[in-house]
């Protein structure tokens, strides 16, 4: 009887392991974007052009407590202004030479009440050598699709805000008329397309 229970338990563990759905981020169809308020009157947008990530979900449509990891290359930052990008990579901001990566690792992903594909995503964000817990909203696609090459795809739009000063990004300048040149609040705007492994 003991052997039978051990066999059943082992089979259950193996079944649980194989039931998981693995995804890879499709960087060519995704965006890691952000924006800050500039001069208190407009928003300046940027993005990271080089990044990678993986997601392990329960099924193709159930991402409750999915395991999510991604990293972005700080040197790939792009705000459509070469001089500004150079300043952002400098020790005034990201200090890319010392801290070349931004990483995120999820700690929970909970389905929002009365929804089927909207989640509260929480995790540890590491940037500029500082790790902080962040909370984001992830809105999933209504269904999975298959592309012309047979790839199974899903996707999310992820939004949220962080305070850059929490990560030691404190550079700013005071305006002559009062106020500051850059907001402390950074809005995150991520469009994530996933390929099923």
Distances (CA, A) of 20 to 57, 150, 188, 192: 6, 20, 28, 20
140 C-beta neighbours (distance < 10 Å), count: 23
- The CA distance from 158 to 118, in Å, is 10
**110-138 confidence digits (pLDDT tens):** 999 999 999 999 999 999 999 999 999 99
Query: According to the model, what pLDDT value does residue 151 have?
Result: 92
Prediction pTM value? 0.86
**63-96 confidence digits (pLDDT tens):** 999 999 999 999 999 999 999 999 999 999 999 9
- The domain 20-196 is classified under which CATH number: 3.40.50.460, 3.30.70.1150, 3.30.2130.10, 2.40.128.110? 2.40.128.110
Evaluate whether 192 touches 30 at the Cβ level (below 8 Å). Answer: yes
pLDDT category, 158, cuts 50, 70, 90? Answer: very high
Query: According to the model, what pLDDT value does residue 16 have?
Result: 47
**Bridge partner list, 192:** 156
């Amino acid at each position: 009887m003991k052997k039978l229970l051990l066999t059943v338990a082992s089979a259950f563990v193996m079944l649980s392991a194989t039931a998981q759905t693995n995804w890879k981020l499709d960087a060519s169809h995704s965006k890691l974007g952000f924006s800050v308020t500039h001069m208190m009157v407009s928003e300046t947008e940027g993005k990271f052009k080089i990044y990678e990530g993986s997601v392990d979900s329960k099924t193709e449509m159930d991402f409750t407590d999915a395991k999510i990891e991604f990293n972005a290359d700080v040197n790939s930052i792009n705000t459509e202004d070469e001089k500004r990008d150079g300043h952002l990579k400098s020790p005034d901001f990201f200090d890319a030479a010392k801290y070349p990566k931004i990483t995120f690792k999820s700690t929970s992903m909970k389905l929002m009440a009365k929804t089927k594909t909207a989640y509260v995503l929480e995790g540890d964000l590491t940037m500029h050598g500082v790790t902080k817990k962040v909370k984001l909203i992830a809105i999933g696609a209504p269904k999975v699709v298959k592309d012309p090459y047979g790839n199974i795809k899903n996707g999310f739009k992820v939004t949220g805000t962080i305070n850059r000063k929490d990560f030691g990004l404190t550079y700013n300048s005071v305006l002559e008329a009062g106020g500051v040149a850059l907001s402390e609040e950074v809005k995150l705007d991520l469009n994530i397309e996933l390929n099923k492994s």
